[in-house]
Amino acid sequence: MNGIWIFLSIVFGAAVITLTVKVYLMKKSMREISEKLKEKLSTDTNTLIDISSADRDVRKLAADLNRELSALRNEQRRCANGDAELKTAITNISHDLRTPLTAMCGYLDLLDRTELPESARQYTTQIRNRADAMKTLTEELFRYSVAASASKPNLSQVCVNDLLEESAASFYGAISERGIIPEINICEQRIIRIADKSALLRIFSNIIGNALKYSNGNLIISLNEDCEIEFKNSADNLGLISVEKLFDRFYTVNDGSQSTGLGLSIAKLLTEQSGGQITARIEDEMLAIRVKL
């Protein structure tokens, strides 16, 4: 009888040891699959998950994940190719539209120097307005496609203080015409960054240009020692929903004059390409756009 109990104890112990080893190996395989999956998803590689386990179920799981990875990569490749084709098409269309638009504006200039009846003058004014709006949209489309397609920024050491002052100064004429007295607060400490100078100028110019479209007479530009640049202007009719959509492509506020809805989208795209962050909020009926570099 004792012999039977000893035998059963040995069998049970062996079963426990076998099961323990199997569970350990399975958990090890799961960790291996998890690590390999994270690696494949975080890197641009065509290699698949390869595991050391000989367990049939574990290897089947790895094979299923590899099939999904292959399908995901094919979809990503298809989307990337489609996005590249769309950007190329936008660039080509924008470029092709420039020639007839330039010719149209040239003929309008000739008409402006010609004696015309008042009724005809009203028509040419309307045509001029539409042509200018089309020209603005074409230019913004071209700039957006160029910004979206840029792969390697032209990096150099830049002084953010100087670039911000340069951008604000370039709008002196438009600011004066609107009767706006800007409040500019730039810290005395020189803020130096490694960045694309033209990209930063475009970011600042697009945000200031957007502010001038909607400002009722105020514009506040500030830069602090942490390289946080803030642009504030009045926004009486801008609600929370509008603020959340400000950086969406082609989104425009109803009262925006000749607005394409691409200016802030380009600013956001270039800011993120520069490794920065851009946010917008409403504060005391003022729209505040903050860029952190």
State pLDDT tens for residues 237-255: 665 556 767 777 666 655 5
Residue 12 is encoded by which pair of tokens? 């049970």
Q: What is the mean pLDDT of residues 273-293?
A: 87
The 8 Å CB, 24+ separation contacts for 163-170 are: 163/197, 163/200, 163/201, 163/204, 164/204, 164/221, 164/223, 164/229, 166/201, 167/201, 167/204, 167/205, 167/208, 168/204, 168/208, 168/221, 170/205
Reply yes or no on whether the pLDDT at 261 is more than 50: yes
Q: How confident is the model at residue 135 (pLDDT cuts 50, 70, 90)?
A: confident
Q: What is the mean pLDDT of residues 266-278?
A: 87
Give φ, ψ of 241 to 5 degrees: -65, -40
pTM: 0.58
Q: What's the confidence (pLDDT) of residue 256?
A: 46
Q: Out of 54-68, 74-88, 173-187, pick the least confident.
A: 74-88
Q: What's the confidence (pLDDT) of residue 189?
A: 92
Task: Give percent above pLDDT 70 in the chain.
Answer: 85
CA distance 25 to 270: 48
Q: What's the confidence (pLDDT) of residue 266?
A: 85
Q: What is the mean pLDDT of residues 263-267?
A: 84
Reply yes or no on whether the pLDDT at 274 is more than 80: yes
State pLDDT tens for residues 87-124: 777 777 777 777 788 888 888 888 888 887 888 888 88
Q: Which residue has the tokens 């004429």?
A: 173
Q: What is the mean pLDDT of residues 59-72?
A: 82
